Amino acid sequence: MQCDYHDAGACRSCTLMGRPHDEQLAGKQEHCRGLLGERPGLEWLPPVAGPESGFRNKAKMVVGGTADGPTLGILDEQGRGVDLRRCGIAAPGLTAALPALAAFVTRASLVPYEVPARRGELKHLILTESPAGELMLRFVLRSTESVVRIRKHLPALREQLPRLAVVSVNLQPEHKAVLEGPEEIVLTERQTLPMALGDVVLHLRPRSFFQTNTAVAAALYRQAREWVDELDPATVWDLYCGVGGFALHVAAPGRTVTGIETSAEAVASARLSAREAGLTGVDFAAGDATAFALAAREAPGLVVVNPPRRGIGPRLAGWLESSGAAHVVYSSCNAVTLARDLAAMPSLVPRRARVLDMFPQTRHYEVMVLLERAA
């Protein structure tokens, strides 16, 4: 993939930009195998590759410049806005909407936040596209000062962007490198963006996490479903379940599935998806994954873990090691912490592994491992 912004030195976020895609994927596979080591009985499945461009379903645009001339992209080293509206890794539906959003900033007199001067209101525009082409837009503001004007001009924006289904304001008043704040104000009647992945529909609320590569996320969930259905456990836990991606994909008649997630908002979305699908035997609860496991009276037949980059940590790894769970499906976005966690669970032996290229043009990737308790 070729990128004018990268070639000009305007943006270096994609550290592998310009390198052939198959070469990138081979390097990620080699990196992951090196970290996990050569293990007897471990089968490496072919890596999963999606499109090398236009794959991101979410654009997190820092707003710079002025209200009359806003930039949407990143900030340079001096805190000045760098416009990246034609970014090639963003889905075409996102880039097509950005000119209308830039015009909206001007129309609604939304003053971009100046990091060096610590003044202004609008910090970010976060835009997400569903597989059906619908959009969810979030304005990250310093205060509520601009909300009245956003409400006033929102009908005109929705006429320009008829695919715009969910709009919200997020308040992030602090001067620090944090994308969003704790308070969300939804401005539309609709509050969720349906993400249809095959026969499963996930509901995203503004603060929900979802994999940024829809095609590869679908492959990730399909792989988990195949492994779980092959093993056919009676009970499954989905720890760090988010909006229920793994739990809803592995649900099946006669199988009890429990999803645990710290975000009550994500749990509400997961419950909505389960209810709409008419699933029984699937339950979700808000709570800490490690605390939930440590307090449980007995272990399920299979545990799915999909932790953040820090991994599951020693307490949960120790519980899994000593539990009666026969299998674990570990989905990781950081093979370094995955390798560390596997070392803490020697009784759970890796049997299958698969690298998924969730983040082309970067060194990051997803890897999923099926663990089986040694006899």
DSSP state letter for 357: -
Q: Is 333 a catalytic residue?
A: yes
Give the burial string for 82-120 (b: 16+ CB within 10 Å, else e). bbbbebbbbbebbbebbeebbebbeebebbbbbbeeeeb
R_g over Cα of the chain: 22
The 3-class secondary structure across 26-76, one letter per residue, is HHHHHHHHHHHCCCCCCEECCCECCCCCCCECEEEEEEEECCCCEEEEEEC
**CA 266 from chain center: how many Å?**
12
Helices (H) and strands (E) in the chain, counts: 10, 17
Contact 256, 234 (CB under 8 A): yes
The single residue of 11, 14, 241, 333 carrying the catalytic annotation is 333
**Parallel/antiparallel/unpaired status of strands 348-356 and 366-373:** antiparallel
Contact 165, 190 (CB under 8 A): yes
Give the catalytic positions in this structure.
333
